[in-house]
Amino acid sequence: GENVEQHPSTLSVQEGDSAVIKCTYSDSASNYFPWYKQELGKRPQLIIDIRSNVGEKKDQRIAVTLNKTAKHFSLHITETQPEDSAVYFCAAVNSNSGYALNFGKGTSLLVTP
Amino acid sequence: NAGVTQTPKFQVLKTGQSMTLQCAQDMNHNSMYWYRQDPGMGLRLIYYSASEGTTDKGEVPNGYNVSRLNKREFSLRLESAAPSQTSVYFCASSYVEGSGELFFGEGSRLTVL
């Protein structure tokens, strides 16, 4: 099955700085790469996703990039704010087989004022 | 519109006891999933049901059974609970033909003594 590695496991940035979280995947058939955010004590929620037919996608302060050749994808958060503090999970799946996602182990992001 | 509802939210069991976690969704989703979340381990897929009438093992199925009772409900059963099953369990659902977004329940915190 798909194996997703995520780095770093913890990340601390100052408010206003950028944060980058990187993931690698093993299955070249994977074509769907979502990112979920989980605030403390809450459920995970989708924040952005990308499919293998595009290399980059942006939504306001967050963006995701995908390098299919190298099998890695990254989440970029610009102008970080304290409310960005959360655990972020990447995942990868071959959507032709459904959406049973294999998640990375998560990155705990702390944004300090 | 409640989304994904899990019960119970908290449960304490003794080793060897059995219990069932219930999950129901009211979004007419085809697919449903059970994940467990442990510190530093991310979200690991236990079982999933791509559509009514089907179930498949995920990454960590040992010690669990599932039942897709109907399109709305997907239950997770621990037949003989072990301390290693102490975890937070999340149920999720999605459209198999849709965007791929997983909608999670609030989670169920299980402690096995």
pLDDT, one tens digit per residue, over A35-88 is 999 999 999 999 999 998 889 999 999 999 999 999 999 999 999 999 999 999
Q: Residue A46 has which token pair?
A: 């989708």
User: What value does the mean pLDDT take over residues A94-113?
Assistant: 92
Choose among B46, B42, B59, B54: nearest CA to A1. B59
| Residues of chain B predicted below pLDDT 50 | none
Q: Are strands B108-112 and B10-13 parallel, antiparallel or unpaired?
A: parallel
pLDDT at A35: 98
By CA distance, what is B89's nearest residue in A? Answer: A43
pLDDT, one tens digit per residue, over A48-60 is 999 988 899 999 9
**Residue A106 and residue A90: Cα distance in Å, rounded?**
7
pLDDT at A54: 87
Cα–Cα distances (Å) from B18 to B37, B64, B76, in that order, read: 20, 10, 11
B50–A95: do the CB atoms touch at under 8 Å? Answer: no
pLDDT at A86: 98
**Residue A51 and residue B103: Cα distance in Å, rounded?**
19
A102 touches chain B (CB under 8 A): yes
Residue position matching structure tokens 């293998």 = A52
Instruction: Give A33→chain B minimum CA distance, Å.
Output: 10
pLDDT at B39: 87
**Residue B11 and residue A82: Cα distance in Å, rounded?**
33
CA angle B62, B65, B71 (to 5 degrees): 135
B101–A46: do the CB atoms touch at under 8 Å? Answer: yes
Whether A22 contacts A108, CB under 8 Å: no
pLDDT, one tens digit per residue, over A7-30 is 999 999 999 999 999 999 999 999
By CA distance, what is B42's nearest residue in A? Answer: A105
B39 touches chain A (CB under 8 A): no
Say how many C-beta atoms besides its own lie within 10 A of residue B5's C-beta: 15
Q: What residue type is assigned to position A98 of the chain?
A: G
Q: How many CA atoms within 13 Å lie on the side-chain side of A80? A: 21
pLDDT at B100: 83
User: What value does the mean pLDDT take over residues A97-103?
Assistant: 88
